[in-house]
Amino acid sequence: KKTLFVNNREIEIAGERNLLELIRKAGIDIPTFCYHSELSIYGACRLCLVDVKGRGIMASCSTAPEAGMVIFTDTKAIRNMRKINVELLLASHKRECPSCQRSANCSLQDIARKLGVHDVRYKQSIKDLPVDESSPSLVRDPNKCVLCGDCVRVCSEVQSVGALDFACRGSNARVVPAFDSNLSEVECVNCGQCAQVCPTGAIVAKSNIDQVWDAIYDPDKIVIAQVAPAVRVGLGEKLGGFAMGENVARKMVTAMKILGFDEVYDTCFAADMTIFEEATEFLDRLENNGVLPMFTSCCPGWVKFAETYYPELLPNISTTRSPQAIFGSIARKTLPAKLGVKPENLVVVSIMPCTAKKYEAQLPKFSQDGRPDVDYVLTTNELAQMIQSMGIQTNELEPSAFDMPLGFSTGGGVIFGATGGVMEAALRFAVEKVSGNPMSPIDFKETRGLAPRKEATLEVAGKKLRIAVVHGLANARKLVEEVKAGKAAYDFVEVMACPGGCVAGGGQPISHDKDFRTKRAAGLYDTDKGRQVQKPQDNYWVDKCYAESFGGRPGSHEAHTRLHTHYQN
């Protein structure tokens, strides 16, 4: 058994890759900006310093544990160095803490407070660089950047996009999009993973809260909302009083009514409808020698990625719109009459775990007569902020149900929010259609979990179906390259841009729990299990919606006009 000593306590070395991991295991939360267990080691922030006896002071993130090491995490010299480092960062940081989106959720603020940095001995030197608000999804304020490089690494290593990089040196060093352009002009796919790892407010989701409040306060408007699957298992973390991953949908609906939303519906209804279209489209491709593999299309980060890097693949992407966009179509078509509101007075708001959904909603192809189907997209975090701004104690509220009929969904629609969920829901539909028999069990466990690529071959009515699920765009790129090179062959592939799927989207609460993705996904799978109806095709209200508004069946002319889309290269 190999051990070392941390602050005179003997600790076992059990496969930790660096001293920082090991010290954290020993119950000491050593400060750092630039260390993320899922990213490469950069060693830039010089906060995770430790004194290794006989060797001196070094960064714990980039030092491997060795048996017999004697480590001190807190000496007078280290304490002084950390304070100086934090003071230097604060001196060049735009300190507008009370009005910053990351206030109370900022590593710089948190570390400064914990270290007891009460005054900054260095002169404030802000360069007053322009704030980049060009993106529909994100706002980049270089004046708050601490140069940890977390966004640069997540964007290149996890997403294989590389929209951000370092420029210049020394005191002029900055993180910028390529050629110092605006974020909207580079390959950025709006996934928001950079905002998730940014320790400060240098990259944050763009807020649409003010527009939504204006709509709510306008007496002529009827404001309705759709809530995405993953929101319900993330929101509770931000509001407090709930377990991690707990499905808070029913109390959330009550809170949203208090906020002033007239009706609160469920994107999972539209997810069920997406499956009707997408699985029908898949079976059609399968039976009529269509283009395969078919890739899912519901993740706008992935779609933009494919449009940017793999235009030759666009015929492979399902033409079915995403649930958010399908909901927008249904809302515009059916709600004015149902709610007795003039079409121009209906305001459609989406609550999404995702920053890329803000980009998707403003695409001209998802609008009619100049009016977007979805007017505003709020992230889970923005909804939490609205709720908190009104002082609503959500965990003390009575639960309520989503409004009908667009609030009814099957378990299949709910699991969309976790990686593999769309595939599983589609298989529940497709396998039963092909085999002609009710299937049991209906779970496809092969699609669940956090493996970078999940694959399975299913025997359906004598046919072999090869499916794959990837999440994180670097994993998607790898799969696509293999398919293009003929090294891998599939019939149907699900891609989600964010590792873990929407539960870990760019608009979800930032979590430092190492199992947060699994816990949130478990909240969705538990909900699915508890549902009486689990297969999308058993959603009676979707059938009714087809009958009344979309040509009676999936794939009809009406459905093609309003529930499908096209891609650009």
Note the residues at the interface with ligand SF4 (CB under 6 A).
Answer: 138, 154-155, 159, 161, 163-164, 188-194
Residue 382 phi, psi (nearest 5): -65, -40
Residue nearer to ligand HC0 on the CB measure, 293 or 501? 501
Cα gap 457→451, rounded to integer Å: 17
Q: Which stretch, 47-55, 78-86, 317-325, 508-516, contacts ligand HC0 (CB under 6 A)?
A: 317-325
505 part of the interface to ligand HC0, by CB under 6 A: yes
- Smallest distance, Å, CB 497 to ligand SF4? 8
**Binding-site string for ligand HC0 from residue 442 to residue 481, where x marks contact by CB under 6 A and - marks none:** ----------------------------------------
Q: Which does 346 bind (CB under 5 to 8 A by kind): ligand HC0, ligand SF4, none?
A: none
CB 328 within 8 A of CB 366: yes
Count other C-beta atoms under 10 Å from residue 513's C-beta: 12
Pairwise CA distance, residues 274 & 413, whole Å: 9
CB of 189 to ligand SF4, least distance (A): 5
Residue 13 near ligand HC0 by CB under 6 A? no
Query: Would you count residue 406 as binding ligand HC0 (CB under 6 A)?
Result: no
Nearer to ligand SF4, 358 or 448 (CB): 358
Rule CB under 6 A: which of 227-246 touch ligand HC0? Answer: 228-230
Q: What is the DSSP letter of 11?
A: E
Angle at 12 between CA 8 and CA 13, to 5 degrees: 115
Residues in a beta bridge with 224: 263, 348
Residue 190 binds which entry of ligand SF4, ligand HC0, none, CB below 5-8 Å type-dependent: ligand SF4
Exactly one of 422, 450, 493, 559 binds ligand HC0 (CB under 6 A); which one?
422
Tell me how far CA of residue 456 lies from CA of 50, 127, 423, 425, 474, in angstroms.
46, 53, 11, 15, 20
Beta pairing partners, 167: 174
Site for ligand HC0 in 252-311 (CB under 6 A): 267, 271, 298-299
| CA pseudo-torsion sign 348, 354, 358, 360 | negative
225 binds ligand HC0 (CB under 6 A): no
518 interface partner picked from ligand SF4, ligand HC0, none, CB below 5 to 8 A per type: none
As a whole number of Å, the end-to-end CA separation of the chain is 57
Minimum distance from CB of 180 to ligand HC0 (Å)? 30
Whether 425 and 469 have beta carbons less than 8 Å apart is answered as no
Q: Which of residues 339-398 bind ligand HC0 (CB under 6 A)?
A: 352-354, 357
- Cα 556 from chain centroid? 32
Which partner, ligand SF4, ligand HC0, none, binds residue 228 by CB below 5 to 8 Å per kind? ligand HC0
The reply on whether position 411 binds ligand HC0 by CB under 6 A is no
The token duo for 82 is 């950390």
- Start-end of H helices in 156-234: 193-197, 209-217
Q: How far is CA 92 from CA 34, 124, 248, in A?
A: 17, 6, 40
Q: From ligand HC0, ligand SF4, none, which one binds at residue 230 (CB under 5 to 8 Å depending on kind)? A: ligand HC0
The binding site for ligand HC0 (CB under 6 A) comprises: 228-230, 267, 271, 298-299, 322-324, 352-354, 357, 416-417, 422, 501-502, 505
